[in-house]
Amino acid sequence: MRLGIITLLLALLLAAPIACASDAIDLNPAPTPEAELPAQLPPLSPSVLEEALPFNANCGALLLAEQQSGQIIFAMNPDSPRPVASVTKVMTILLALEMLDAGRLRLEDPVSVSKTAAGMGGSQVLLDVGERQTAATLLKSMIVGSANDAAVALAEAMYGSEAACVEAMNARAAELGMEGTHFVNCTGLPAEGQHTTARDVAVMARQMFSHDLYYEYSKIWMEDLDHGDGRATQLVNTNKLLRLYDGCDGGKTGSTQEAGYCVAVTATRGGMRLVAVVLGAPSGAERFDLAARMLDHGFANYRLYPVARAGTRVRGELPVTGGAKSGVGLALLSDLTLLVRKGEEQDIRLVPDLPESVPAPVAAGDRVGSVAVVRDGRTLAEIPVAACESVEIRGIARGIEAFWRLWPLLGEGAA
């Protein structure tokens, strides 16, 4: 009897269905919660939408990108290493914002100003040795007034020393793929070996501009800082476009004789946020004028086009060979929004790239293919496609069920 039961189990384990043909695949906007993933800032595009600059630019390097998609509209010398003066503080600010998000730093945390921090040259908020300010005040002083003393004081509070903060800055730069960047200090004061590129500035600026807390300080034009001893220092925003350019709500400036005049600035109009980077301009006015022209060009000629949303179902099922079900439902794994020239939206097509079938077992969330986003015969992007449910191996599933159902009989046969 035991031999007969074992034969039956083997037959069940080896049984497999014949895969059935799926329906024609196209996109049907029906959200599938199982396939949704948290939104993440996509990386900066390696290519540009415009090969030639739309106007002459008197500076060392520049780049114009869109915040949400990461697409670059145009660039000049984007990968040339350069000093960028206080634009370096973008990374210091970013680390503080990320530490606040992680709960490792609180805005209300008191910070005692060291002799090193108080002795910083360049732009300052005139902190005294032993003065106590909150992390919030130091962060605000960096963002609004580009204060070197506040930057070092906060760096020491976060990491114990400026040197340790610099190590964290370089580590974060490596994580973000900033291959043309090396930090030596957290302020941007002239230092041998410190450099970055227009592309890398755009990378870290986009990360900084993605934090809501940043805008609580970046939009401040003028404010007094109370030192607690009867003194007050007036903070004045170094980003003049905040008052001169419609939609500008953030940016970081920098200038030294070595770096020239630099800025990474952002503005938003009609739900689209652009990021303009200008490095090595001959004057502060030319730096801002050029950034404004760049932003004007982007807003006038481009719009965001929502191509797809995470969780959108792909109609039909992908055949599953050897599965408990003959097919599996599919869904897009990520959002995709592209920056397109106004009027070119109708040229975009979605082309599924899926296998004829997949073998069981299939787990919900497994990537099984992609959808190509095509315009004028050129693939602009790919959206991953995943199974939105699990499919077990048919024979094993049935065999295990039968095994446990017949286990008592197996025991009797052995006796």
Distances (CA, A) of 48 to 44, 177, 340, 380, 394: 10, 18, 12, 11, 49
Examine residue 43 and say whether the peptide bond preceding it is cis (omega within 30 degrees of 0). Answer: no
Q: What is d(CA 343, CA 301) in angstroms, rounded to the nearest whole number?
A: 9
Nearest to 173 by CA among 204, 142, 151: 204
Q: What is d(CA 92, CA 152) in angstroms, rounded to the nearest whole number?
A: 9
Q: Cα angle vertex 373, ends 371, 375, to 5°?
A: 150
Q: Is there a catalytic annotation at residue 45?
A: no
Q: Are 230 and 291 in contact (CB under 8 A)?
A: no
Tokens of 73: 């509209």
Q: What is d(CA 295, CA 275) in angstroms, rounded to the nearest whole number?
A: 8
3 Cβ partners below 8 Å, 6+ apart?
Answer: none
Q: Find the catalytic residue in 86, 123, 334, 370.
A: 86
Q: What is d(CA 128, CA 349) in angstroms, rounded to the nearest whole number?
A: 61
Q: Find the catalytic residue in 22, 69, 89, 123.
A: 89
Q: Is there a catalytic annotation at residue 115?
A: no
Q: Is there a catalytic annotation at residue 140?
A: no
Q: Find the catalytic residue in 146, 218, 326, 334.
A: 146
Q: Are 40 and 310 in contact (CB under 8 A)?
A: no
Query: What positions carry a catalytic annotation?
Result: 86, 89, 146
